[in-house]
Amino acid sequence: MTLLEPADVPLAGISAPIVAAAVLLAAIAIFSYVMLRRIQLLRAVLPDPRFSEIGRRIWLAIVYGFGQARQPRYLGAGIMHILLFAGFVILSLRSLTLIGRGFSSGFHLPLMTGSVGFAYEVLKDYVVLMVLVVCIVAMVRRAVFKPARYQHTGTSKGHGAEAYVILGMVSALMITDMIYDGSALAVGGHTSGAALFPAASLGAAFMGAASQSTLSVLHVAGYWAHILVFFTLLNYLPISKHFHVITAIPNVFFAKLNKGGIKPVRWGVDDWMELEECGVGRFEQFTWKHVLDFYSCADCGRCSDNCPAATVGRALSPRMISIKARDYVYEHYPVFSANKDPDDKPFTGNIVTEQEIWACTTCGACEQECPIFIEYIDKIVDMRRYLVEQGEMPVSLQKPLQQIKKKGNAYGATKTKRAEWTKALEGIQVKELQPGDATDTLFFVDSCGSFDPRIQEISKSFARILHRSGVEFGILGKDETDSGNEIRRLGEEGLFEQVSSKNIEAFQAREFREIVAFDPHAFNVIRNDYPVKFPVTHASQMLARFLEQGRITLKGNYLAGRLVTYHDPCYLGRHNGVYNEPRAVLGRIPGMHLREMHRSFTRSFCCSGGGPLLWYENEEEKERMGERRVKMAAEIGAQVIVTACPFCLINLEDAVKTTGNEGKIEVIDLVELVDRYLA
């Protein structure tokens, strides 16, 4: 016995295919219009060149878009998402099939006939059940266990209900499918048993007692309910936080490829100084990719969960920037009414507050974590550029920047004394390279290594190592200027251009094979931001190479059996992918006992930033990031924290004292440690 198929049952006297066509057309029309509005905005905002390296982009889309490779960083939620996404992909064929069945009762997609079609039917039935289970688990998880990272902070209206709406609709899709298929199964439409069609069988079991006429109504009603929910869901996506279902894969495809670098003030503009306004003050000054980011945020909270600023109580929560920005779009660029005039108050400083904007250390933990590659640093830098133009900058940062402007370093020291630290080196003459001089390795000391008494120790250690390695090297001395990594990230682009061009000029006036810096910030900015490219190496990479080549050998017992942990500096690890070389160097140290902290490699925890950020004072934080980091080291029983960044060193040494770990934990730079072991 079989039931009448929906296509064969007129609805209120209208033949089903006509109803199906009407529903389909209406849904597509609305959806197209909504998408058109959303795309209109993307076309109205500022340009952003994202079409280079298509091969790499396709690869990203495959691995991180379809492959969901970042999802398992949160294992439970990640697996659930992968299951849902897989279900979504598999069941999309089913949905297309069902749409077709409104027109013709025997509709099949091409190739979906015979055994392939049967296999798909079986697969789909399992997936339906799986998706339903995942949805229920997800709802229970949100309702009962309330993971902290889903909580909204700040003033924005909550979006928690949207999650239930979408999970409810997906569940409804599964249940209507089960009613549709189950009713057919219940009247014996299928010959196979429960093992092949668990979802349908479950549906059938619920409806087992129903009469045939009831079943036939359920069969048709289930179908139409499914179709209606499907199209409602489709149209709900671009007006909710679930837009990511549509935009996530394009967002991954258009991801930023030059990690570590900062975007120019405006793409496609030769002289930004000539611009009327610079940076992002109004929302419309974001680039289209940045707006696409806002569309795409799924509100999963992973960025903020990993944000060190958020962790210590600063005002920043990266996720809220996306959420508030999308709320702004949905409010000011509504789908069914005219665009609203921008408010009197600019976006920056109001929707996103100054406290949020200055709280960021640009450590990149948020971007590393985002499953769909939403960017934050460039946006924050763009907003800072606007604020700086308005004269707004935290007082604690103004002084170091003014010093850099006047003297080329934040320490307020005279530039002629930049090479003074070398005088304390016994038996080593460090060559101050003059214009026209040639050498093998140009040691870029940077302001911190030249003037900070603590960091000078690293400079000396590195000079000793270079000397021992036999490599010919020299420094720029008085011709060196602050590298400018933080200056650029604090939004003072004019000053960045000033310092970088001075350094570029100094580089170009000398011959060398490579530049080496022990400060990852200097390494990063020369590598990723300087408009002229020079070969640049981080000290840890050079040390690894020296050890590999046997240029230096290590001997001694400085660590004396103490347990060591390694702290990955943000600008070495996350921004430049240098994770292995420092560990390779540590591996060469006799008697090394290394234990990783729970947060290491890509999940390393920022210790509050380098350069002028050393002077930055945050009013809201309840704890200093460095203190949090030292506690993480203490948790695993580490007695020595090795890092490869002078600012991490300063911050962590400070934190060791303030957390009462003085005498219990030593902080040392990798370069210093190697120096202690020089045979």
The footprint of other proteins (CB under 8 A) covers: 273, 278, 388-393, 395-396, 398-399, 401, 405-407, 412, 414, 416, 453, 492-495, 497-498, 615-617, 619, 624, 658
Q: Is 256 or 624 the residue whose CB approaches other proteins more closely? A: 624
Q: Is 381 or 463 the residue whose CB approaches other proteins more closely? A: 381
Q: Is 195 or 395 the residue whose CB approaches other proteins more closely? A: 395
Q: β-strands 514-517, 536-538: how paired? A: parallel
Q: Is 70 or 415 the residue whose CB approaches other proteins more closely? A: 415
CB of 343 to other proteins, least distance (A): 19
CB of 493 to other proteins, least distance (A): 7
Dist CA 374 CA 151 (whole Å): 19
Cα-flanking dihedrals φ and ψ of residue 475, to 5°? -120, 165
CA-based nearest residue to 572, from 532, 525, 618: 525
Q: Is 327 or 392 the residue whose CB approaches other proteins more closely? A: 392
In angstroms, what CA-CA distances link 430 with 424, 457, 467, 539, 581?
11, 15, 9, 17, 26
CB of 650 to other proteins, least distance (A): 11
CB of 611 to other proteins, least distance (A): 14
Neighbours of 519 (CB within 10 A): 32
Q: Is 516 or 649 the residue whose CB approaches other proteins more closely? A: 649
Q: Which residues contact 321 (CB under 8 A, 6 or more apart)?
A: 352, 356, 376, 379, 380
Dist CA 649 CA 609 (whole Å): 11
CB of 91 to other proteins, least distance (A): 54
CB of 380 to other proteins, least distance (A): 17
Contact in structure between 610 and 645 (CB atoms under 8 Å): yes
Residue 474 parent element (H or E): strand 473-475
In angstroms, what CA-CA distances link 202 with 128, 183, 208?
11, 10, 10
Residue 122 sits at the vertex; the CA angle it makes with 120 and 128, to the nearest 5 degrees, is 95
Cα-flanking dihedrals φ and ψ of residue 287, to 5°? -85, 165
Query: Which amino acid is residue 497, in one-letter code?
Result: E
Going through 121-210 in order, the beta strands assigned E by DSSP cover: none
Burial class (CB in 10 A: 0-12, 13-18, 19+), 173: buried
Beta bridge partners of 493: none
Q: Copy the structure tokens of residue 575.
A: 């921004």
The owner of tokens 């960091």 is 455
CB of 42 to other proteins, least distance (A): 28
CB of 570 to other proteins, least distance (A): 21
Query: Which amino acid is residue 535, in one-letter code?
Result: P
Burial class (CB in 10 A: 0-12, 13-18, 19+), 343: middle
For residue 598, the number of C-alpha atoms closer than 13 Å in the C-beta half-sphere is 10
Q: Is 578 or 614 the residue whose CB approaches other proteins more closely? A: 614
For residue 146, the number of C-alpha atoms closer than 13 Å in the C-beta half-sphere is 5
Q: Is 293 or 492 the residue whose CB approaches other proteins more closely? A: 492
Q: Copy the structure tokens of residue 522.
A: 């200097």
Three-state secondary structure along 230-266? HHHHHHHHHHCHHHHHHHHHHHHHCCCCCCCCCCCCC
Q: Is 97 or 459 the residue whose CB approaches other proteins more closely? A: 459
Q: Is 178 or 278 the residue whose CB approaches other proteins more closely? A: 278
Q: Is 343 or 392 the residue whose CB approaches other proteins more closely? A: 392
CA-based nearest residue to 127, from 70, 85, 180: 85
CB of 381 to other proteins, least distance (A): 14
CB of 274 to other proteins, least distance (A): 9
CB of 398 to other proteins, least distance (A): 5
Q: Is 85 or 615 the residue whose CB approaches other proteins more closely? A: 615
CB of 50 to other proteins, least distance (A): 27
SS3 431: strand
